[in-house]
Structure formats: structure tokens, C-alpha cells
Amino acid sequence: MAELRRELGLLEAVVYGVGLILGAGIYAIIGEATGVTGGSIVVSFLLAALVASLTGLSYAELASLFPKAEGDYVYVREAFARDVVSDATALGRLAIGVISSAAVALAFSGYLTAFVDVPAVPVAVVLVVATTVVNFWGIDLSTRINVLFTAIEVAGLLIIVWVAGGSWGNADVLQASNGAVGVVEAAFLIFFAYLGFGSVVNLAEETEDASVAIPRAIVLSIGITTVLYVLVGLSAVALVDPQVLGQSASPLAEVARVGWGPLGATVLAVIALFSTTNTVLILQISTSRLLYGVSKAEYDVFPAVFSRVHAARRTPHYAVATVGLLTLPFVLLGDIGLVAGLANLVLLVVFVLVNAALLKLRYARPGLERGFRAPLNVGRLSLTAVAGLLSCLGLILFYVLTW
């Protein structure tokens, strides 16, 4: 049987992670989150970053132990040896991928309305179809597109920081329009922005020296994007009223308009189109690789047809097509806040299982060779994994009680 082609190094893996995280977060959800909490959006970014970093360290260690495309599924399977738990993890990760793709595709439509008056849902459907085609064509083409588009989206965020740099003193980062509940609710929404680091592991079978490169890519991706997130969040509330941002379909374009004028709004709207396109593409890639991985004969979670690789393109074509089709029903919901909330809830459940898997493996199989070890340990106990598990459970409880 044909295998996936290893085309990615550390740089490409980091770019994939940064592209996933930035596109999903800043360009797609910052408006909704700022409308919830006001100037304290900066605090919400830091809170979300802390929770993501704790779980990210667990992913990094597990990825060094099991550098496979099926990612979370194999971590939980190796730790608990129970099909019901590992199969639920695979289903959860598949759901996260398709729901998140839908949310970011809807964000793309919001920015496109800055240029043409078009209905959001049909535009999002066209984007999903187009990225599915690119995904099928090959990882080499996808990588070139990702590197270019990620450079463009980072440039857009640096523009926001530049135009607002002199106004940071105007930001009231302690202004919480809905109190502590609003800060946590915004952090919950922003957590959607960090889903990218969990998807980096699905590229393991297309990455050289994956047991070392993937853990490093996870840590670097979270670090780079957190710095950019905080600076952009600070810039946004320094220039624009948070409630205005909350009502905008293209929030960063609104920030650029205030700081730079109509030209700035146009430039940022164009960049946001590149960013959201890039994120949908990478989500489609990572999710299809997960479906490919867990459909292998050794796991048999899904029908084996999804593990087949196209002889010429060397991509899992049946998995690619299926992920694209599964994304479309969530696009039809048409509400980015609702869609992102659904993705977050499933994501947090998976993160609980991943942190628990690391804790279990530390004791059950301590002799496994690790290319990376999470810091802050007491004997075999990982304090970061414990904190990651508890913080994810806390956000799940918050979602259940308030949404």
C-alpha cells in the first residue's frame, strides 16, 4: 500500500501550527470574544494561553512517544487500552476538525462582505470545496500555500500592532463589561484559537524526525502566537470600542480603518481572506490525516477505505473527500459563535483525555523513549498535565453552567 510522503521539516511544522492558530483565533473570533468581556480581552487571551500551554506540553511529550498521524487516538489507546475511550477520542477529534473548519469558513465570508455583498453560507461552502481539492492534490502544494499565506497573515497582525502602538495607553485592560464571568467566557471562546497545536500531531507521518520536530513545533507555535495574540488584542481595544468590535463581521479590518483609514481596512480585509483560507486548508489536511490514521487495519475504528492512499497524489483521497463533506452541514448553521462553542466543548473533552493519558503512561510505561519531556515534575507525576486536566474540566463545567 502507498504511504504518505515525508515532506515537512521543523520550520514547515511550526508554520502549520502558527497558521492554524492565528487564522482560527485573531481573524475569526476576536470580535465575538471582545464583545463579551470588553478591554479585559487581553486577560482572556492570557488565560486561554495558559490552559493551552499546559495541555500543549502533554501533547508534545506524547507526540515524541508516538509520532503517528492518528495523534490523540493512539495516545489514549496506548494509555487506557479501551476501545470505547480511544474510539470516542477519534470521533471527538474528527468532530473538532470539521466543526472548526466550518467556523473559520464562515469568518472568511464575513471579511469578504467588505468587498462584495454576498450570502455567507454559499461562500463558505465554496471555500470548503476549494480547500478540499488542494488537500487532495498533495502535501507539497499545500505546504507552499501554507507558508505563503501564513507569512501574509502574520504581516497583517504586525500592521495592527504598528498602527495602534502609540495608543496602547488608551486600553483599559481591567475593564470587564460582564465581570469575571465575561473574562472566562471570552477565554472559552478564545480557546478555539489554540486548537491548532493539537492538530500539528496529525502531520507526524509527513514530517522528518517527527519524534523531535513535532514536540518542538507545538511549543514554538503556542509561544509565537500567544505573543501576537496579546499584542493584537491590546491594539484592538486601544483603538476601537469593544462593543463595536463585538458587532463587526470583520473586526480587525475595523481596527485598521480606525488606525490607518479606509486603505488600512481594505488591506486587513484582504489579509484576513488569506488567513482564514489558510486555516480551513490546514484543518482539512490535519483532520483527513487523522481519519486516515485511525482507519488503518491495526485500529479499524472507521472503514479501511479511508486509509487508502492515492497512487499518484500520495494523499488519503477518500479521507480528504469525507472530511470536506462532513464540514458542510456545520457551515449551514451560519453562526460562528455557536459553531466555535461546539468545537471548544468537544476539544476540551479530548484535552482532558490527552492529559489523563500522559499521567497514566508516566506510571504504566515509564521506560518508553521520549524525545521530549514536559517540565515541572514530582517523581513521575507531571504537574503541568494535572493542571491541564483540571483547567480543561473547569472550562467544561463553565460551559455547561453558563451556555
Q: Tens digit of pLDDT for each residue in 136-189?
A: 998 888 888 988 998 998 999 999 999 998 899 999 999 999 999 999 999 988
376 C-beta neighbours (distance < 10 Å), count: 13
pLDDT, one tens digit per residue, over 84-122 is 999 999 998 898 889 889 888 988 888 898 788 888 899
The three cell numbers of residue 128 are: 470548503
CB–CB of 89/79 below 8 Å?
no
Closest CA to 287 of 243, 244, 320: 320
Would you call 382 helix, strand, or coil by DSSP? strand
Partners of residue 213 on adjacent β-strands: none
The pLDDT > 70 percentage for the chain reads 97
Q: What is the pLDDT of residue 2?
A: 63
**CATH code 3.40.630.10 for 10-402:** no
Q: Please state the domain extents for the chain.
A: 10-402
Task: Quote the CA–CA distance of 99 and 124 in Å, as a whole number.
Answer: 13
C-alpha to C-alpha distance for 395 and 78, rounded to whole angstroms: 26
Task: Count CB atoms within 10 A of the CB of residue 394.
Answer: 13
Residues in the chain: 403
CA distance 72 to 92: 10
Specify the pLDDT at position 24: 56
Q: Which pLDDT belongs to residue 143?
A: 84
The pLDDT assigned to 402 comes to 78
**pLDDT of the residue at 25:** 62
Q: Taking the alpha carbons of 160, 165, 167, 170 in that order, is the dihedral positive or negative? A: positive
- Cβ–Cβ < 8 Å for 111, 250: yes
As a whole number of angstroms, the distance between CA 277 and CA 18 comes to 14
DSSP E strands: which ranges in 29-183? none
> Tell me, what's the pLDDT at 257?
94
Beta strands in 313-398 (DSSP E): 377-378, 381-382
Give pLDDT < 50 ranges for the chain. none
**Whole-angstrom distance, CA of residue 298 vs CA of residue 319:** 17
pLDDT at site 23? 63
Closest by CA position to 248, among listed 260, 238, 257: 257
